[in-house]
Chains A and B, each alone.
Chain A
Amino acid sequence: MELVAQEHGGILVVRAMQDRIDAAGAIQFKDRMRELTGASKANRVMLDMSNVAFLDSSGLGAVVAVLKALAPDRKLELAGLTPTVQKVFRLTRMDSIFTIHAAASDGLRHAG
């Protein structure tokens, strides 16, 4: 699971480079996110999913696990959800739990 992290004004932006977060890659995704967020002190973490065309329920569970691992002091936000990914979030109502930005650049506009 290729994830690339970069800090912008107190926000850790993690960009998913692969086009799927699915059952075959969910555990790697969680492990890699743990590494990247563990190496940063940023309070806000933004996962840029604009390359991710597909996310299944295992992938969704992994994203939720990252949110839970960062709480309560740190926050996971999402950006760039593609149509199918957006649908999975909407059907499971997880879109009401996460702050979702249309694009990573929108989320960064409010960087402190």
Chain B
Amino acid sequence: MHLTVAGTADAVRQAMQDLAASPLFAKLDEGSRCNAEIVLAEVMNNIVEHAFATQSGEIDLVLENRHGRLQCVVSDTGSAMPDLTLPKGSFQPLGPIEDLPEGGFGWFLIRSLTEGLEYQRIGGVNRLSFALIQEQSPDCA
């Protein structure tokens, strides 16, 4: 499945709703669908927020169901990742309420739910590829 999405938060929301109703998602088990929703929304929102912070453009999604696992390639023409490196997204222990983080969960979620995450910058294009992890249980636990 191939999808082009404008680089705005509203367009990402619409794309996620379209994907949730797509035949591609219908063929995934509930656990994979749930992970795909979380990961693809985070990946695209990061692109809108950072790569397209000072310029506009489109996000290109290529999604393939390979034996029940979703393989994803997400490309955009926005600005490159700083140092051409993906954020670590390590888990920050949660402290007292007044110090709780209100952001920075995105890459943690992406890294928790994907495998083979790879970033390349080729000819002005950011290209992120990954596979959704295979959950032990078929539901969204």
Contacts and interface: CB of A to CB of B under 8 A. Distances in A.
Contacts of B100: 64, 67-68, 97
Contact of B16 (A54, A87, A96): A54
Contacts of A22: 9, 12-13, 16, 41, 45
A84 B45 contact: no
Contact of B109 (A23, A25, A57, A72): A57
Given A23-B12, A71-B97, A92-B108, A64 B102 contact: yes
B106 A57 contact: yes
B97 A93 contact: no
B105 A61 contact: yes
Contact of B97 (A24, A92, A97): A97
Range for the number of chain A residues in contact with chain B: 20 to 34
B10 A24 contact: yes
For the residues of B in contact with A, the DSSP-based class is helix
B48 to A, nearest CB: 7
Contacts of B34: 83-84, 87
B139 interface: yes
A20 B14 CA distance: 11
A97 B99 CA distance: 12
Interface residues of B, number: 32
Interface in B1-54: 9-10, 12-13, 16, 30, 34, 37-38, 41-42, 45, 48-49
A108 interface: no
A72 B41 contact: no
27 contacts: A23-B9, A23-B13, A23-B45, A23-B48, A24-B10, A54-B16, A54-B41, A56-B45, A56-B106, A57-B42, A57-B104, A60-B105, A61-B103, A65-B102, A68-B97, A68-B98, A71-B98, A72-B98, A83-B34, A83-B140, A83-B141, A84-B38, A87-B34, A87-B38, A87-B141, A97-B94, A97-B97
Given A23-B9, A62-B102, 5 more contacts: A22-B45, A23-B12, A58-B45, A64-B101, A72-B98
Interface of A: 20, 22-25, 54, 56-58, 60-62, 64-65, 67-68, 71-72, 83-84, 86-88, 91-94, 96-97
